[in-house]
Structure 1
């Protein structure tokens, strides 16, 4: 049954994604804010499919902590799920992403319309300058800049691998940072076909005010996201009947 539900969900999810890629083409002609509301609708339909077909409920808490206006959103990244779920709770979100994604036909058009912030990873230090300038422009227009501080998906419980790009952005934007913890990787494992029924928990943590020294912020945002994510990880393991993490797993997750 788990394999069948996973198969049905994956087919429905990617069919829905392809459908929305084409439905959003007329949206290229409307104002960007209207276009982003259409993107959020895609995210909500995907969450609905998760619940109805795969038996995965997405529980998001702490939304009342999100301040109005521009902000840096630093989220744990474990699966594809959070890339669309987080968008649905923000007023005017945009992503920092690798430039090559902008070159994909149709999909890249939508990223451009959303005014995402591309990063040319081959440009070295210049890429950081360009990224920061674009992100600052978007934040000054009241947008929430979403970044995954580890740069790529990490398995739940894996040692953290935060990069200093998040601290550089925080230091130069001058806006609060909203940390987000989650345990999505337990239910939607990266590079796996299976979707495990249960409750994905996404938790918006207390905003970190602007103005902290770079290193202090870097240590704080990592500690807060990892502490909360480890707690959600343990809750998820108990729900799935996996029991508490072993000593070796616990030491790895805190490394």
Structure 2
């Protein structure tokens, strides 16, 4: 990622709210575009959840912001200046590091052809219980959902929906189980059987350390998420499943490990 690409992508959001200014990723799909969000027209996505966004905010490149505030920080490196949210700043540094790592590992060339070990947890109970699900590129979200529900014992009384990292109810994927899709009949949702892991990976460049999310019950939500613990080429998946006896399996995916209370 070049310096120009970085400064064009990450901008300072200047508003009258709070004591520091925050950073917006202009290339990210805005969570505010969700039908459940109060504002849907703000550009990009703010990199932390420690303040509200205002339609009156201005968006300034770091160099211009530094000239205005009178400090010499003209690149996203080191510690955040006092005027900028340190949480947002850290997110930028992590994103830059991840992009550089992806370039070194030829991730763009491999996305859509690899499988993953997804460690699923419930938010608030992550240390007590988790389940590792191995998925192939062709695994559908419907198959993944069937294994997630096997260990969470979630019923179908309320909607559940899958999304990208920490999206939950603000999901940009809007993936719901097929039988719930037929009841809702809302074209903004996607049937789980119509989206594969390869499709999801292509949307978010899914790789080691990344996350997916799931929310159950939109009224009083429970939050579940997974972390990508391993990335596997096709032959590695087959070898792994030959060596391990699955706890539960579908045609293309399997629960291979667990921690239970």
Tell me which interval the TM-score lies in, with the shorter structure as reference length.
under 0.3
Larger helix share, 1 or 2: 1
Greater relative contact order structure (CA < 8 Å, 6+ sep): 1
Bigger radius of gyration among the two:
2
TM-score normalised according to structure 1 size: 0.26
**Given the two structures, how large is their TM-score scaled by the length of structure 2?**
0.26
